[in-house]
Structure formats: C-alpha cells, structure tokens
A = this chain, B = another copy of it.
Amino acid sequence: MEMSALWKLSYGMYAIGTLDGERPTGCIVNTVIQITSDNPVIAISMNKNNYTYDCIKRTGRFSVSILSEKTTQNVIAKLGFSSGRDTDKFDGDIFAWEYMDGLPVVNENSCAHITAEVITMTEMETHYVILARVQDAKVTSDYNPMTYKYYHEVIKGKAPKNAPTYQAPEKITDKETWACQICGYIYEGDLTKEPEDFVCPICKQPKSMFKKQ
C-alpha cells in the first residue's frame, strides 16, 4: 500500500473552539465536512489525545472558525502546537477572538464561523468522528479559505515564494521578523532588543530558538 496516495485528499484548515468549564480552549483540525444541506449536519475528525475532544465530550458543543489564506501562522501555532491541558490557548494578544453563542471563535482573518451541537461520536483506533448539528453560521470575510495544501506548501515555506498562489500574510510583509524554530511563532521587530530571558509566548522556548527570516 502506498500511504502517500492518501496525502492527495483535499482538506481545509479550521480552528475548533469549545469550553473547559468557563475557560475557552480549542485546537486546529483539517477535517470539517458538511453532511446534510437542510438543517445542516457537519462531521469533524479529531485525535483521541486531543484535550479539546475531552471538553467537547463534556459540553456537547463546539465552534468552527474557517481559516483563510490571510490567517497568520501565529494563530495555527498558538492553537495547534500545544495542549489545552496546560496552556490557555485564548490568553494574551496573539490573535483576535470573540464569543459566538458562548463559544470562542477566531476573528484573525477568518472566512466564517459555525457553532454546532454534537449528535454522535464514533470511535476509531486513534480518532473520533463527531457528527454535529449546526446551530448558527456566519460569513466573516471574503478571503480565500486556507487549504491544508496551501498551509503546507506556502505558509510553512515548503513552496517557493513565487508560487502562483503565494501571498504573504499582511502583517509580516515589510517588517523584520523572527520565527520560532519549534512552533513557528512569528516575532515582529528586532528580537535582539528583547531581554535575555525572553521566551516564545506560545511554546515557551528561549530566544536562541528564534531565527531571523
């Protein structure tokens, strides 16, 4: 079996939001699909180890923020590169967010927000497939939705900058930037001016883990 055949499937990039008690938490997933059109049902797939899954199981509710090609790596790093077990993913000023129907949604250049209520969860070896009824949905911009392919090839820099679809995130085009080599967090400005005990606000790595871009 050529496992790489499965890499040809097309996915998007989504921020899932839910509540851990009163604390907002969430994660990044690639798989959100619409199942039925009237009174719509969506399906998402989530790794069992994901703390967000535990919280969705308790609350029975979650939000989906559809990320766009203009969403910065910092949103994905903050929500996707650490666990909600030991970090507050919605703290600080890394990205803009708000509550929609009591659930956290990402405002940072998102395309749309959806809130949904769990119908069933089906367990597979490593993942759960969650079917959920859409409660509310709104369009937040007309930016192009970010595909996983775009994230992989353009945002993570694995494609040349002159690829036809390349469009650098607005915030970092004409400023000096430093990238955390662990989580991808982008620091804007002259990092050398930060004190020696500066740490990455997302993954808490020291200054030495940053490289100038």
Contact = CB atoms under 8 A, between A and B. Distances in A.
Interface string A119-158: 0101011110101001011110000010111000000000
Closest 3 CB pairs of A and B: A10-B12, A5-B112, A5-B137
A42 B129 CA distance: 10
Interface of A: 1-6, 8-12, 31-43, 45, 66, 111-114, 120, 122, 124-127, 129, 131, 134, 136-139, 145, 147-149, 164-165
Q: How many copies does the complex hold?
A: 2
Contacts of A35: 31, 45, 124, 127, 129
Contacts of A120: 122
A129 to B, nearest CB: 6
A64 to B, nearest CB: 9
A8 B43 contact: no
A66 B9 CA distance: 7
B36 A138 contact: no
